[in-house]
Structure 1
Amino acid sequence: MPDQLQQGALQVVKRLVGQGYQAYLVGGCVRDGQLGRPVKDYDIATSAKPEQVQALFERTIPTGLQHGTVTVLIGRTPYEVTTFRKEGDYEGFRRPSEVEYIDNLQEDLQRRDFTMNAMAMDQDGQLIDPFHGMDDVRAGILRCVGHAAERFSEDALRMLRCLRFASEYGLRIEDSTWQALLAGKTLLRHIAMERVRAELERMLGGRNPDLALQLLVDSGVLDHTKQELQLARIVGAKPKTELGSLPGSLLRLACLYIEMQIDSAAVEEDLRLLTFSKQQIEAVRSMVAAHEMLHSLNEQSSGDEEAGTLKRIWILTALRYGVEAMHGLRQVYRQLANSQEADVHWSQEGEAWLHALPASKLSELQVTGQLLLARLDTKPGPWLGRLLGELLEAVALGLLPNDQEALLEAAQLNYAKIRETEKR
């Protein structure tokens, strides 16, 4: 029984066919449906021209008319409907300079990247597979449609998609496809970093990030991106961590950077070049910076590895970079194959220390800046932030109770010392 998403797609196909046009489900939805995987969206190919599609449906969006694509809305669900086409010469090793509408499904399918993506299905569920994509998938092979070198020179991003599909579906890249990828990888310098980031995110966030990592290492493609990346050092470093045990691409990225001993400033620059969002950059940078602080403080402790010292170092780092970063870092430490003894201890005890914190940020203190100013009868200044920070540290380390009166009394004692220090 088709689900609601598929029912909407079939409704579009049947409407087009009922009006005398050819129409089929195509691409990833067919592939994943055949493999019994969840289908996230459905794409439709048709002999109808864009204006004919628009005339047939009440609600449409002209999302890509220059490429023959119209989005049809069934309820609130969007379905991309694209006219059969063949493509002219490609510009910038990424996009066709022009498209020509055709009425032949097989000719439309043969312009696609891999045989597993060059399949279609009609309204009755009949599979159309002219390039034997399902035979390749059953054999565990990823193969380009036609000549691999041509497919990759048309659109260099297909090389990164090749690695992603191979890792996500557990496929071996067919020999001529692999050799064409190695020969053509310098063309990746023409691909926008935003597109590189999107493929890396999906690779590292996918079902088999360890295979993705191995393919990135073996191919060396990251040495040929438009911007020079520290992440490309995985080729020489050959990380051994099992990334698949970590949830999500950000934790996996942090783990890679830590294992390769890349500092937090370089990590931040890498992720900026890759166009990650500010929130994503901060999440990864905070974990790497917290790792650096832990080891710096541990070295300063002159080798004293008593639990109390380790706990103090962990808490101070949590106050600096946040509890969320420490939760992530603890998971990373559990996966690092070459963890030091202190790392193992932090990974085992760190979660309990975090849960036991009476306060981990200023908003959790039982005093505010306004209360301190009222008790001290003075005006605000840079000293106020420092004083609040000292109170938070004392509470987190268990040196002070998180009690308003106790904190106000401690503030009175520390205030004079802080102001005297500022005068020096």
Structure 2
Amino acid sequence: MAIISPFFLFHRKFLLKLQQDKYKWMAINVRMVEIPKEFHEALPILQKIESAGYEAYFVGGSVRDTILQRPIHDVDIATSAYPSEVKSLFKRTVDTGIEHGTVMILDHGTGYEVTTFRTESGYQDYRRPDKVTFVRSLKEDLKRRDFTINALALSENGQITDLFGGLDDMKKRIIRAVGDPNERFNEDALRMMRAVRFASQLDFRIENATLAGIRRHSELLEKIAVERSHTEFVKMMLGVDAENGLNIMLETNLYQHVPVLGNYLPQLKAIVASKFQLTNEVQVWSLLSFKFGFSASQISTFLKKWKTANKIINDVILTTELLFSIARGEVSNSILYHAGAENVDNAVVITADSTKTSGLKERYNNLPIKNKKQLQITGGELIKRGVLKPSPQLGKVLDTLEHNVVAGTIPNQQEKLVKAAINFLNED
């Protein structure tokens, strides 16, 4: 991805402001030499809209990430064309959010969301506007954005429109609300968690007025669906400066307005004081569960309050149990076996102390079997040989054989396993 360097962009903008100081409240336009391939692929959409006489821009996070030379995930397009006008220009469209002006254009197997410039008013649920009004003004549309670094528009010829100092804030590594932060957070309380997430992901600081707004309105986070806070919290904990993100949650009292965390301030402070770099959601919840001293049942209750997927809950339980075993210095083959390869990796990452985890991965890799299917005997074979009949005892015998093979007390060989099954039945 070849673009002009962020430093050059900011330097160019600075010179423009010096030369045009009396126009400091006007848009400052900066041209990029080359835009990313993701934008190139979507250019026909912009060009078709513009050829019909409307304005169209790439907007939001994709523009921000391009300037910061970060990977682009979603390409969002904003236009002065109303939804019906957008639909009239393209053969294949889907009304993904037509009430808010969003139409998806299907182009060569790719879907691009195109949203009409709009203003919003009335936020009784602190999340969604009660009224959306379509407008023709890019300025009015950018005014409703959350943070200055997201209130940027990129034209098809590579020109950036920055109305609120977003480029300068990126240069200073600052998260700043567009306009009055109190208004922005009352419009959408999730923006508070987004600010914390951006601070963690981008290693930026939240400027004072925006931070004060979060602290003042932190209780509004309870108005937001847990699933939304869940997504932002996990992304924050996976950021390059997650300790800072978590610390901001403590400083602003956001932690008191999400499930369970409000009961564990000392433990959260200890996590902030530690160094951790997590790579997936299981590690996020496992770190917290371990530091909180949660049992399996407590983990299940905790994560269900966060609306976490059952697969994640199960992996967190296994990873946390392994973490406790590592802490005690008593890691058995059985613990490693039941944890599985991914959760062994998770525990190693969370522990971040090679003296405590040295050799764990090798021990797992050297286990005789990694799952029950690798056991060289089946219930059917035991029945066929007349060792026992179909009954609940069959499962008990297979469990015992599995446990002993993992422990290394019985070889994973069919004849040895049959003999061990017979011995077990005689002892029973």
TM over 0.5: same fold? yes
Query: 314, 325, 336: which one pairs with 2:343?
Result: 325
1:268 aligns with 2:300: yes
Distance of aligned partners of 1:365 and 1:215 in 2 relative to their CA distance in 1, 3 Å threshold: same
Q: How far 1:197 moved relative to its partner?
A: 0.8
Alignment partner, residue 220 of structure 1:
253
For residues 278-313 of structure 1, the C-alpha deviation after alignment (integer angstroms, 9 at most, x for no partner) is 211211121113344667xx6xxxxxx7xxxx4xx4
For residues 225-279 of structure 1, the C-alpha deviation after alignment (integer angstroms, 9 at most, x for no partner) is 3xx32476256541133221x4323223312321232333222222222222221
Matches of 1:323 and 1:122, distance apart in 2: 47
Query: 196, 205, 215: which one pairs with 2:238?
Result: 205
Alignment partner, residue 364 of structure 2:
354
Q: In the alignment, is the contact (CA less than 8 A) between 1:314 and 1:350 conserved in 2?
A: no
Specify the SS of the correspondent of 2:239. coil
1:103 aligns with 2:121: no
Distance of aligned partners of 1:263 and 1:215 in 2 relative to their CA distance in 1, 3 Å threshold: farther
Aligned length: 393
Q: How far 1:375 moved relative to its partner?
A: 2.5
Specify the SS of the correspondent of 1:87. strand
Specify the SS of the correspondent of 1:95. coil
Q: How far 1:192 moved relative to its partner?
A: 0.3
Q: How far 1:214 moved relative to its partner?
A: 2.3
Distance of aligned partners of 1:387 and 1:291 in 2 relative to their CA distance in 1, 3 Å threshold: farther
Matches of 1:409 and 1:39, distance apart in 2: 60
Matches of 2:150 and 2:263, distance apart in 1: 29
More displaced stretch, 172-181 vs 352-361? 352-361
Q: In the alignment, is the contact (CA less than 8 A) between 1:230 and 1:267 conserved in 2?
A: no
Matches of 1:77 and 1:417, distance apart in 2: 65
Specify the SS of the correspondent of 1:145. coil
Query: 398, 408, 414: which one pairs with 1:398?
Result: 408
Gaps of 5+ in 2: 1-33
1:75 aligns with 2:108: yes
For residues 13-59 of structure 1, the C-alpha deviation after alignment (integer angstroms, 9 at most, x for no partner) is 11111101111111111111122222122111111110110110111
Distance of aligned partners of 1:407 and 1:231 in 2 relative to their CA distance in 1, 3 Å threshold: farther
1:127 aligns with 2:160: yes
Specify the SS of the correspondent of 2:332. helix
Q: How far 1:208 moved relative to its partner?
A: 2.8
Alignment partner, residue 381 of structure 1:
391
Specify the SS of the correspondent of 2:359. helix
1:233 aligns with 2:243: no
Matches of 1:361 and 1:42, distance apart in 2: 42
Matches of 2:321 and 2:267, distance apart in 1: 23
Matches of 1:13 and 1:270, distance apart in 2: 46
Query: 172, 175, 195: which one pairs with 1:139?
Result: 172
Q: In the alignment, is the contact (CA less than 8 A) between 2:255 and 2:261 conserved in 1?
A: no
1:233 is aligned with what amino acid?
Y
Specify the SS of the correspondent of 2:362. helix
Alignment partner, residue 12 of structure 1:
45
Matches of 1:36 and 1:320, distance apart in 2: 41
For residues 327-346 of structure 1, the C-alpha deviation after alignment (integer angstroms, 9 at most, x for no partner) is 322332235xxxxxxx944x
1:289 aligns with 2:321: yes
Specify the SS of the correspondent of 1:358. coil
Q: How far 1:223 moved relative to its partner?
A: 1.0
1:314 aligns with 2:332: yes
TM-score (norm 2): 0.86
Query: 95, 113, 127: which one pairs with 1:94?
Result: 127
Alignment partner, residue 278 of structure 1:
310
1:59 aligns with 2:105: no
Q: How far 1:166 moved relative to its partner?
A: 1.3
Specify the SS of the correspondent of 2:360. helix
TM-score (norm 1): 0.87
Specify the SS of the correspondent of 1:146. coil
1:101 is aligned with what amino acid?
F
Alignment partner, residue 416 of structure 1:
426
Distance of aligned partners of 1:110 and 1:326 in 2 relative to their CA distance in 1, 3 Å threshold: same
Q: How far 1:323 moved relative to its partner?
A: 4.3
Specify the SS of the correspondent of 1:272. helix
1:364 is aligned with what amino acid?
Q
